[in-house]
Structure 1
Amino acid sequence: MDEQAYVYIMPSRRNGTIYLGSTDALARRVWEHRNDVLEGFIKKYGCHLLVWYEAFGDLALARQREFQMKSWKRAWKIREIEGLNPDWEDLYDRIAQP
């Protein structure tokens, strides 16, 4: 079975505080963030919108991309979001299981 992993971006609002992370269970992780299950950055800053994600074949590749993107300037992250999602729509419903 192929492992699927993701890098994702969750801001507090359009052009707000940006959180960047990686996971092997995107829907579960976003649900945890949206419901403030986990302590930390997302809960503190209210980053609850899933506006961008990228899939990878394994978690090591996703984490490598996450660390690469964390070194990016903010403008580059915004450009990445707007390249996929120009209106900063919440993509959670597209990935959540019914």
Structure 2
Amino acid sequence: MARTYHVYIMSNRHRTVLYIGVTGNLAHRVHAHQDGTGSAFTRRYNVTDLIYAEPYADVDEALRREKQLKRWTRAKKLGLIRRQNPTLQTIQGPYG
């Protein structure tokens, strides 16, 4: 069975902060951010809402995409997110 990797974007409740990451287990990673063990940044800025995710079969491709998105402007990131999630609603599990 092939593994799926995700490039994901999370935000805080007010959508003032965007966090981009990559993971091989999206459900576990989202839960880690929500319970405060995901990263110091997400804990500090209360980043708990998954608002965007892209699946990849290849981890190197996912890592390249993560780096690409991190270089984008906030406006460009929001444009990408809104194409999949126009109202920036929290994506509910199961993730995959």
Instruction: Check if 1:49 corresponds to 2:68.
Output: no
Secondary structure of 1:9's match? strand
Flag the 1:39–1:14 CA change in 2: closer, same or farther, 3 A. closer
Question: TM-score, normalized by length of structure 1?
Answer: 0.90
Deviations 1:31-70 (A, max 9, x none): 0001112341100101110000000012211111000110
Question: What is the distance in 1 between the residues matched to 2:33 and 2:91?
Answer: 14
Residue equivalent to 1:27: 27
AA aligned opposite 1:54? E
For 1:51 and 1:64, how far apart are their aligned partners in 2?
20
Equivalences for residues 15-94 of structure 1 within 5 A: 15-94=15-94
Question: Could you report, residue by residue, the CA deviation over 1:6-51 in whole angstroms, capped at 9, with x for unpaired residues?
Answer: 0000011353111000000000000000111234110010111000
Q: How many residues align?
A: 96
Partner SS for 2:83: helix
Where 2:20 maps in the other structure, the secondary structure is strand
The 4+ residue runs of structure 1 with deviation greater than 2 A are none
Larger displacement relative to structure 2 (84-93 or 3-12): 84-93
Percent identity between matched residues is: 32
User: Retained in 2: the 8 A contact 1:52–1:84?
Assistant: yes
8 Å Cα contact 1:20-1:70 kept in structure 2: yes
Residue aligned with 1:50, SS: strand
Consecutive unaligned residues of structure 2, counting only runs of 5 or more, are: none
Unaligned runs of 5+ in 1: none
Kindly indicate whether the alpha-carbon contact (under 8 Å) linking 1:7 and 1:55 is maintained by their aligned counterparts in 2: yes
SS at match of 2:36: coil
